[in-house]
Amino acid sequence: MASDLLSIGRSGAQAARVALDVTAQNIANASSEGYVRRSARLAEVSSTGGMGAVGDVSLSGVRLEGVVRNADLFRQAEVRRTGADAARADAEVAGLENVQAAVEQSNVYNAMVGFEGSLQQLVGDPTSASLRANVIESARTMVGTFNIAASALDAVGTGLRFEATDAITQVNTLSGELARVNLRLARAADASSDQTSLLDQRDSLLQQLSAFTDVSTRINADATVELRLGGASGPLMVQGGSAGTLGMTTAGDGTISFAVSGFTASSAAAALTGGSLAGKAQALVKLAAVHARLDSLADTMAATVNAAQTAGITPANAAGQPLFGGGAPFTAASLTLALPDGAGIATAPASAGANSRDATNLNALRTALGSADPVGGMDALLFDISGTVQGRTVTRDALRTIASGAQVSLQAQAGVDLDQEAVNLVRFQQAFQASGKVMQTAKDIFDTLLAIR
Amino acid sequence: MTTISTSTSAFYERSSMDIADLRSRAEGLQADLSRGQRIARSSDDPVGASRLRQLQRADSLSQIDVANAAKANTNLQLTDSALGTFADYVTRIQELTTQAANGTMTDAARASLGTEIAQIRGNMIQLANSRDVEGGALFGGQSAGDAFTVDSAGNATYAGTGTAGDLPLGDGQNVTRGLTGPEFLKLPAGSGQPDLLAALKALADGLQAGGAAAVQAAQDGLAALNQGMDQITTAQTVVGTRLAWVDLTTERRTNLGEMRSAEETDVGGTDIASTVARLQETMTVLEASQASFTKLASLSLFSLLN
């Protein structure tokens, strides 16, 4: 028989000491970001009988098999995926709300209604100088609001692209760090503290990356990770110890597209579907569409008014000059007021004389504006943006709920529960005390043997 | 037995997120109350916001219709009173002409009657050239100058445009803003003279000339005056009808305005009673969750171990 009471007791005390250390580590890191709860895995030391002693009863105590990280790969992947979706929805809603504020708060709609009203008022007395001046001032206000809306939309676009550039810098930094972690993981011994803290770092980097872009990961046998952007068929971003570089190109209408360079000869296009980068890209697409519609409304308004102006005569019996300037086609940013004086408004048809109170041309202008209906088009544009914002907000709230559900599920497994750790403290303390008693018993037995004379 | 464990940090995060959510909802309701408007941005209720925009557009255009209707009203009132004066003049001339048609009068008496008739005709021409509220010719249609020009011989020719033009009253309704001179001065075909002023000139000249033709001129003049009076009375009826039409559209516009503002309050206004009730409910839930969080957070196994 080759078991030794003293060494069995000693191994028990040692194992209990290690388990207590692990418990204390958990308690100390209960609020650390990205910390995964550790637990000590203990296993029996088994020893077989030796030569000539087959069938022996030999017991050798307990040993620490390893420190286990309680993190499920699936749950972590779920947290990354849902987190990327929620981040995309967040970024998109924020961008779209800014677009809505730019168009709505510049008050273009009210200015267009005011211009329409001033024309209607002019019908009552077409030769009145004050009513004509009112028309010119309403037109000036309307041109001003169009210019403000266009520059506000440009500012929103610039802000979104600036934030996207910043996010890309972060993605590149995180990918570089992930590559370095990969290198160290390849060298770390299995189940050592070195490896567990590196694994924690790796998972935390992956989670931070998923806030910016959706990632597809493949964990290799040696715990290093291979990272692709934008789904399993996307371009390679991190492999082994090398990381690629994500870049952004801006198109003519302000929309952005992404490409990864460094692994292939030419840069590979990345179609991102999650994360804040994808959200900002989608918001920029909508911004470009809104800007184009605003420009076409300005063009409709200005072209209709100018056409009616050239078809009539002013009170001075001169041909009407264009009221709006800024080139054809007119855009919201380039629209200007070309007539400074109310005397240039052509209310009378070409067949009337000087100082005629015939308002036929003015009525024709009002009819043309009524059928082209740029005011109704502006209302439709505002309704379109606000409907989109409302829809995306509902989506965002739902995605947030799903993401927090995945987080809770991961934390239930990987997070530290202080009550559980308190129970462990009591348990391993008792185990330590019991192993100490075992050693005491071994000493007593030995003393008994020594006391034989 | 399956156990659902919660990590400590997850508990704190969830609790703080829930409490922050309740708080922001309560603040949103309070902002609705203080603003009086339910819709702060269009995305709060896109359909409602679009409806509000359309109602406000209809409101501001309707304000301008009020101004136009008042203008039309004033001009038509001026026309009405001018036509009344015209009718008085024609009645006076009819008295004078009846006297002149009497065969027992002397030529000199008839001549003095003719002079008085010419004088009254001059007044009528001046009345026909009066101005409307904007400074244009009241009976000249859309021209800026005088409605009738008088040449050296005393003939009056109409110098205005063909129609007086329409004023929009809203909802696609229009009203013609006045009458042109020919519309009430023109005599029907076959009466010998084109219009009343020419007939009166012929009458005055004939009476002043004297002789047997004067009596004939007086009788012709009476016939023309009767027809002219008919035209003036018809014109007065037309103007009265238009004034009634303006009143009708004004009343309709007021009703529509009231309906619009009722709809605006419905769609965009805050319902104070229900908002206050929701605010109370949210605050009660907030207090309860804050109290339960405090209670749960103070429970710890460590405080029981010694």
- Secondary structure of A126-194 in the HEC alphabet? CCCHHHHHHHHHHHHHHHHHHHHHHHHHHHHHHHHHHHHHHHHHHHHHHHHHHHHHHHHHHHCCCCCHH
Are A225 and A219 contacting, i.e. CB atoms less than 8 angstroms apart?
yes
CA B185 to chain centroid: 28
User: Hey, of B8, B253, B296, which one would you mutate to test binding to chain A, going by the most A CBs within 10 A of its CB?
Assistant: B8
Amino acid of residue A163: E
H-helix segments, A243-373: 275-310, 360-372
Name the residue facing B136 among A123, A357, A423 (closest C-beta).
A357
Which of B187, B227, B185, B223 lies closest to B203, judged by CA?
A: B223
CA A312 to chain centroid: 55
Cα–Cα distance for residue pair B17/B11, rounded to 1 Å: 10
Residue showing tokens 């030796």: A50
Cα–Cα distance for residue pair A47/A57, rounded to 1 Å: 9
In a domain, A429, yes or no: yes
Q: Is the CB of residue B297 less than 8 Å away from at least one CB of chain A?
A: no
CA distance B285 to chain A (A): 20
CA distances from B132 to A10, A125, A314, B234 (A): 119, 11, 22, 21
User: Hey, of A127, A357, A366, A429, which one would you mutate to test binding to chain B, going by the most B CBs within 10 A of its CB?
Assistant: A357
In a domain, A320, yes or no: yes
Are A241 and A253 contacting, i.e. CB atoms less than 8 angstroms apart?
no
Are A440 and A49 contacting, i.e. CB atoms less than 8 angstroms apart?
no
CA distances from A378 to A337, B10, B108, B162 (A): 20, 47, 78, 40
Are A95 and A160 contacting, i.e. CB atoms less than 8 angstroms apart?
yes
* Cα nearest neighbour of B9 on chain A: A31
Q: Which two tokens stand for residue B287?
A: 């207090």
Please check the confidence at residue B195 and state whether its pLDDT lies above 50.
Answer: yes
Asked if the Cβ–Cβ distance from A386 to B42 is below 8 Å, we say yes
Q: Are residues A441 and A293 in the same domain?
A: no
CA distance A103 to chain B (A): 11
| Per-residue pLDDT reduced to its tens digit, B19-56 | 999 999 999 999 999 998 888 888 889 999 999 999 99
Residues of A in contact with B53 (CB under 8 A): 109, 379, 382
Asked if the Cβ–Cβ distance from A408 to B14 is below 8 Å, we say yes
Asked if the Cβ–Cβ distance from B142 to A109 is below 8 Å, we say no
Are A133 and A342 contacting, i.e. CB atoms less than 8 angstroms apart?
yes
CA distances from B35 to A170, B52, B262, B270 (A): 41, 16, 18, 8
Are B271 and B36 contacting, i.e. CB atoms less than 8 angstroms apart?
no
Mean pLDDT for all residues in chain A: 91
The domain limits of chain B are 54-264
Per-residue pLDDT, A49: 65
Q: Are residues A377 and A304 in the same domain?
A: yes
Per-residue pLDDT, B147: 86
Please check the confidence at residue B189 and state whether its pLDDT lies above 80.
Answer: no
User: Hey, of A37, A386, A396, which one would you mutate to test binding to chain B, going by the most B CBs within 10 A of its CB?
Assistant: A386
- Residue range A81-99: mean pLDDT, rounded: 96
Cα–Cα distance for residue pair A196/A69, rounded to 1 Å: 7
Q: What is the ipTM of this complex?
A: 0.81
Per-residue pLDDT, B291: 95
Residue showing tokens 């600036």: A162
Are A324 and A336 contacting, i.e. CB atoms less than 8 angstroms apart?
yes
Q: Is the CB of residue B67 less than 8 Å away from at least one CB of chain A?
A: yes
Beta A324-325 vs A336-337: how paired, if at all? antiparallel
Most confident listed range (A377-381, A415-419, B207-211)? A377-381
Are A82 and A406 contacting, i.e. CB atoms less than 8 angstroms apart?
yes
In a domain, A223, yes or no: no
- The alpha carbon torsion through A56, A62, A63, A64 (nearest 10 deg) reads 150
Per-residue pLDDT, B4: 61
Q: Are residues A378 and A440 in the same domain?
A: no
Query: Of A337, A364, A385, which residue constitutes the final position of a domain?
Result: A385
More confident residue, B117 or B141: B117
Q: Are residues A444 and A375 in the same domain?
A: no
Are A387 and A290 contacting, i.e. CB atoms less than 8 angstroms apart?
no
| Per-residue pLDDT reduced to its tens digit, A344-388 | 999 988 888 788 888 889 999 999 999 999 999 999 999 999 999
* Cα nearest neighbour of B57 on chain A: A113
Please check the confidence at residue A428 and state whether its pLDDT lies above 50.
Answer: yes
B residues 123..152 contacting A (CB < 8 A): 134, 136, 142-144
In a domain, A44, yes or no: yes
Per-residue pLDDT, B1: 45
Q: Are residues A48 and A132 in the same domain?
A: no
Residues of B in contact with A426 (CB under 8 A): 305
A184 pLDDT band (50/70/90 cuts)?
very high
CA distances from A19 to A43, A61, A69, A440 (A): 12, 15, 14, 21
Residue showing tokens 């989608």: A282
B141 pLDDT band (50/70/90 cuts)?
confident
Backbone phi, then psi, for A251, in 5-degree steps? -85, 175
Mean pLDDT for all residues in chain B: 88
Share of chain A above pLDDT 90, in %: 70
Please check the confidence at residue B136 and state whether its pLDDT lies above 90.
Answer: no
Asked if the Cβ–Cβ distance from B9 to A31 is below 8 Å, we say yes
* Cα nearest neighbour of B165 on chain A: A358
A3 pLDDT band (50/70/90 cuts)?
low
Provide the sign of the torsion angle of the four alpha carbons A197, A200, A206, A211, taken in this order. negative
CA distance B57 to chain A (A): 6
| Per-residue pLDDT reduced to its tens digit, A213-268 | 999 999 998 889 999 998 888 999 999 899 999 999 999 999 999 999 988 878 88
Residues of B in contact with A417 (CB under 8 A): 5-8
In a domain, A445, yes or no: yes
Q: Are residues A290 and A341 in the same domain?
A: yes
CA distance B45 to chain A (A): 8
Provide the 3-class DSSP secondary structure of residue B129: coil
**Cβ neighbours around A193 below 10 Å, total:** 12
Please check the confidence at residue B146 and state whether its pLDDT lies above 90.
Answer: no
In a domain, A30, yes or no: yes
Q: How many distinct structural domains can be found in chain A?
A: 2
Q: Which two tokens stand for residue A157?
A: 């676009």
Asked if the Cβ–Cβ distance from A117 to B63 is below 8 Å, we say yes
Please check the confidence at residue B2 and state whether its pLDDT lies above 60.
Answer: no
**Cβ neighbours around A113 below 10 Å, total:** 23
Count of alpha carbons within 13 angstroms of residue A8, beta-carbon side: 18
Cα–Cα distance for residue pair A396/A403, rounded to 1 Å: 10
Tell which phi-psi region holds residue A82, choosing left (phi > 0), alpha (psi between -120 and 50) or beta: alpha
Question: A150 Cβ partners below 8 Å, 6+ apart?
Answer: A291, A294, A295, A331, A332, A333
* Cα nearest neighbour of A355 on chain B: B144
Cα–Cα distance for residue pair A66/A11, rounded to 1 Å: 15
| Per-residue pLDDT reduced to its tens digit, A125-165 | 888 899 999 999 999 999 999 999 999 999 999 999 999 99
Beta A215-219 vs A242-243: how paired, if at all? unpaired
More confident residue, B101 or A337: A337
Q: What residues are paired with A245 via a beta bridge?
A: A261
**Cβ neighbours around A50 below 10 Å, total:** 10
| Per-residue pLDDT reduced to its tens digit, B147-179 | 888 888 888 888 888 888 888 888 888 888 888
Per-residue pLDDT, B59: 93
Per-residue pLDDT, A309: 92
Are A12 and A3 contacting, i.e. CB atoms less than 8 angstroms apart?
no
Cα–Cα distance for residue pair A77/A217, rounded to 1 Å: 8
CA B155 to chain centroid: 38
Residues of B in contact with A124 (CB under 8 A): 67-68, 71, 167
Q: Which two tokens stand for residue A291?
A: 């800007």
Please check the confidence at residue A51 and state whether its pLDDT lies above 80.
Answer: no
Q: Are residues A369 and A324 in the same domain?
A: yes
Residues of A in contact with B144 (CB under 8 A): 127, 355-357
Provide the sign of the torsion angle of the four alpha carbons B139, B141, B142, B144, taken in this order. negative
CATH 1.20.1330.10 fits B54-264, yes or no: yes
Tell me the whole-structure pTM to 2 decimals.
0.85
Asked if the Cβ–Cβ distance from A117 to B60 is below 8 Å, we say yes
Name the residue facing B42 among A30, A104, A123 (closest C-beta).
A104
Please check the confidence at residue A426 and state whether its pLDDT lies above 70.
Answer: yes
State the residue range of the domain holding A134.
102-152+286-385
